[in-house]
């Protein structure tokens, strides 16, 4: 039996029914990776470098998932009045893991906050609040406000020469949208390969040999519901990780 590649997914923190802090992540990510042929492994957050190093040694690829806003302290900007909840421990853990994976050549896939984290960890910045910082922008919280992750909101225009266009075999695809922050200044080593009609960055990828791709939307909510073509993203990512082992 062929060994499945292990995809590490950092946890988020939430409150359980007893009021205690719980660690976990959405089953949608786990199912998307499993059906694509990978083994999803949730990674606890930690301040300890030794702990993060040992967790990192267990994985073949890194999937940065959604979550709360990234603290602008990470990229040296003042806090915007519309900045939402942040998680310093998640920021710390993900910045460390992302930089390590990128340097080592372990494939990285970022989704929503993870797309933004990929950019921030490698030296980029964010718009902290799209409605107040990008005049004329679409409603990028459309699917979230409708409380329906499968709700398709707008098209993404994808560069023809990009990895995602090759995987999807097309340069336009519909997607959901559940975010109020967005990539601003693109990090060195990354490039924009997809946008929405208002110019908001929807897809980034590495310019070099180290595989790293960020998707602003939530394809993990679409591949088995309203847009099955997004399944190709996860299948191609897991295949990329297997090839890099």
pLDDT of res. 17: 75
pLDDT reported for residue 149:
97
Please give the C-alpha separations between residue 140 and each of 32, 62, 120, in angstroms, as whole numbers. Answer: 23, 25, 20
Whole-angstrom CA distances from 81 to 72, 172, 234 are: 12, 34, 36
Question: What's the confidence (pLDDT) of residue 237?
Answer: 98
* 186 part of a folded domain: yes
Return the H-helix or E-strand segment holding 10: strand 6-10
142 within domain boundaries:
yes
Return the bridge partners of 22, or none. Answer: 14
The answer as to whether 18 is a domain residue is: yes
Residue 1 belongs to some domain of the structure:
no
Q: Domain of 199?
A: 6-244
From residue 184, how far is each of 77, 122, 199 by CA, in Å?
Answer: 12, 13, 11
Contact assessment for residue 75 and residue 40, using Cβ atoms and an 8 Å cutoff: no
Provide the H-helix boundaries in 45-87.
49-56
Residue 203: inside a domain: yes
Residue 7 CA to residue 136 CA, distance in Å, equals 38
pLDDT at 2: 78
Mean pLDDT for back-to-back runs of 10 residues, the chain (245 residues): 91 81 94 98 98 98 97 98 97 98 97 98 98 97 97 98 97 98 98 98 95 98 97 98 92
- DSSP-H helix ranges across the chain: 27-35, 49-56, 88-104, 113-121, 130-133, 142-145, 163-168, 231-244
Predicted confidence at residue 1, as pLDDT, reads: 55
pTM beyond 0.85: yes
The 8-class DSSP code of residue 170 comes to S
Model pLDDT, residue 176: 98
Closest CA to 179 of 223, 209, 134, 213: 134
Residue 108 inside a domain? The answer is yes
Q: What is the CATH number of the domain that holds 217?
A: 3.40.50.880
Task: Report residue 79 as tokens.
Answer: 């806090």
The question of whether 220 is a catalytic residue gets the answer yes
Quick: pLDDT tens for 90-127. 999 999 999 999 999 999 999 999 999 999 999 999 99
Q: Whole-angstrom Cα distance, residue 184 to residue 76?
A: 13
Query: What domain count does the chain have?
Result: 1
Q: Residue 22: what pLDDT?
A: 87
Please pick, among 154, 218, 221, 227, the residue that the annotation labels catalytic.
Answer: 218
The whole-angstrom distance between residue 124's C-alpha and the CA centroid of its chain comes to: 15
Q: Which of 112, 115, 180, 221 is catalytic?
A: 112
pLDDT number for residue 231: 97
pLDDT on residue 174: 97
Which member of 94, 202, 220, 227 is catalytic?
A: 220
d(CA 94, CA 63): 10
């Amino acid at each position: 039996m062929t060994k499945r590649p292990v995809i590490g997914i950092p946890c988020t923190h939430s409150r359980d029914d007893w009021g205690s802090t719980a660690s976990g992540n959405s089953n949608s990510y786990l199912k998307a990776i499993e059906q694509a042929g990978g083994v999803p492994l949730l990674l606890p957050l930690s301040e300890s470098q030794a702990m993060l190093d040992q967790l990192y040694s267990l994985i073949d690829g890194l999937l940065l998932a959604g979550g709360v806003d990234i603290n602008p302290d990470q990229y040296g900007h003042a806090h915007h009045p519309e900045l939402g909840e942040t998680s310093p421990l998640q920021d710390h853990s993900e910045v460390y893991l992302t930089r390590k994976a990128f340097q080592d050549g372990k494939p990285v896939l970022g989704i929503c906050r993870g797309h933004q984290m990929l950019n921030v960890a490698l030296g980029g910045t964010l718009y902290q609040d799209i409605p107040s910082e990008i005049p004329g922008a679409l409603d990028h919280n459309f699917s979230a406000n409708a409380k329906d992750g499968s709700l398709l909101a707008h098209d993404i225009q994808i560069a023809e020469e990009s990895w995602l266009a090759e995987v999807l075999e097309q340069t336009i695809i519909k997607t959901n949208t559940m975010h109020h922050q967005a990539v601003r200044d693109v990090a060195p080593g990354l490039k924009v390969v997809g946008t929405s009609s208002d110019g908001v960055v929807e897809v980034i990828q590495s310019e070099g040999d180290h595989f790293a791709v960020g998707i602003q939307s939530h394809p993990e909510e679409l591949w088995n519901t309203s847009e099955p073509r997004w399944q190709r993203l996860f299948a191609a990512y897991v295949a990329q990780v297997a090839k890099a082992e």
